[in-house]
Amino acid sequence: MKKNEEKSKYVAKTLAGLEEILAGELKDLGATEIKILTRAVEFQGNRDVLYRANYCCRCALRFLLPLASFQVHEQNDLYTRVVDLDWDLYLDPGKTLAVDAVINKSVFTNSHFVAQKTKDAIVDRFRRQWGVRPSVNLDDPDIRINVYLTGEECTVALDSSGASLHKRGYRKMTGLAPINEVLAAGMIRLSGWDGKMLLLDPMCGSGTILIEAALLARKIPAGFFREKFGFMKWKDFDPEQWHILKEKENDKIIQTCPELYGSDISPKAISDVRHNLAFTGLVDFVHLEVKPFDRTRMPAENGMIITNPPYDERLRLDDTIGFYKSIGDVLKKKYTSYEAWVISSDLKALKFIGLHPSKKITLFNGPLECRFVQFKLY
């Protein structure tokens, strides 16, 4: 495919609102020609940068290597252009593939049909050329192909990440409405938390915010607990280079961590957090207790709160407005020297916290549009 010193253009996919944070991460890793897009960041780098980005970036969902861009005026144009690509460079006959497709205002109306059409084109090319066709493996393919159609513009790319990078590998137990790991990491970075200040999540669920904070503070790479990345099955994969890169990044891990506190009204949630912490080896860095927010005690004179209260969409609340009022009451009475960040999709209920927000950031938790709101308490 390409030598390590050769640069290629890549596209990093992320969540809306985290583009600038991701761009900063990529710059720190040596990426160049960085361009912020909608829910994506375009950049250039060599193979080392691609490996490092997959292993280290906390705010990326996946990294794509674009192979071709072309116009699709009618449905058959997609098949014709895909079948003309030199797939021998990326895939051997008899290997496996999977195709993901995203469409936006296209001549196609069904993304599954686009994926099927792309797969047919690749398979037909191999069958005609070699008499052997690749098979489909949706779970663990040799290459994963991404097709993005917006209007008449189509981009075909290789997915270097495989499974979405939010699947860190550490969350063995989850609650009813776990927050996405990439979103949690992005919230921490957006809050300005410095990795030294005390951090509290009083509605911690399965502990994602706390674990992401611990990983950041100790400089543990985001992909430390993952076993597989898509590029590991690429033809140009260099196992030695990958091993050396991982060792260099792992050598940066530090043993110190600020005090992290988590609580939740659910004993099951706290049990899940302990299970996940035990797997990561972070159990000694996080203090946990089963308590509702209004019964918690301020663990220090100052610190930061980052929390993801239950959303009425997925976790039913008997009195949503009253619940959010109680959040404000506890913040005002017990945490007057803290800085608090709250994310919620219930924009009406957020107003009933009763505190003047210092900052509001629009984020998405899955399909839910949310506000990530800062309250400076005095």
All structural domains of the chain, each given as residue ranges with its CATH number in brackets, are 8-159 (3.30.2130.30), 181-218+254-376 (3.40.50.150)
pTM of the model: 0.94
**In this predicted structure, what is the pLDDT of residue 2?**
56
Least confident of 100-104, 188-192, 374-378: 374-378
Nearest by Cα to 163 from 112, 78, 223: 223
Whole-number pLDDT of residue 316: 57
- The whole-number pLDDT of residue 78 equals 96
Which has the higher per-residue pLDDT, 317 or 186? 186
Q: How confident is the model at residue 320 (pLDDT cuts 50, 70, 90)?
A: confident
Per-residue model confidence (pLDDT) at position 178? 79
Number of H helices, E strands in the chain: 10, 15
Q: What is the mean pLDDT of residues 216-221?
A: 97
Above 60 in pLDDT, residue 326? yes
Residue corresponding to tokens 């957006």: 190
Query: What value does the mean pLDDT take over residues 268-275?
Result: 93
In Å, the largest CA–CA distance within the chain is 74
Q: What is the predicted pLDDT for the residue at 177? A: 65
What is the predicted pLDDT for the residue at 105?
87
Residue 176 has what pLDDT?
Answer: 66
User: What was the pLDDT predicted at 175?
Assistant: 66
The pLDDT of residue 317 is 59
Cβ atoms of 166 and 57 within 8 Å: the answer is no
Question: With 70 as the cut, is the pLDDT of residue 314 above it?
Answer: no
Residues 6 or more apart in contact with residue 265 via CB below 8 angstroms: 203, 290, 291, 292, 293
* Average pLDDT, integer, range 205-209: 93
Average pLDDT of the residues of the chain = 93
Cα–Cα distances in angstroms (integers) from residue 358 to residues 26, 64, 133, 307, in the given order: 28, 36, 58, 16
Contacts of 194 by beta carbon, 8 Å cutoff, 6+ apart = none
What percent of the chain has a predicted confidence (pLDDT) above 90? 87
State the pLDDT at residue 311.
Answer: 58
The pLDDT, as a whole number, for residue 181 is: 97
Q: Mean of the pLDDT values across residues 5-34?
A: 96
Say what the pLDDT of residue 319 is: 84
Residue environment code for 146-179, b if the CB has 16+ CB neighbours within 10 A, otherwise e = bbbbeeeebbbbbbbbbbebbbbbbbebebeebb
pLDDT tier at 313, thresholds 50, 70, 90: very low
Q: Residue 318 has what pLDDT?
A: 63
Mean of pLDDT values over 138-155: 95
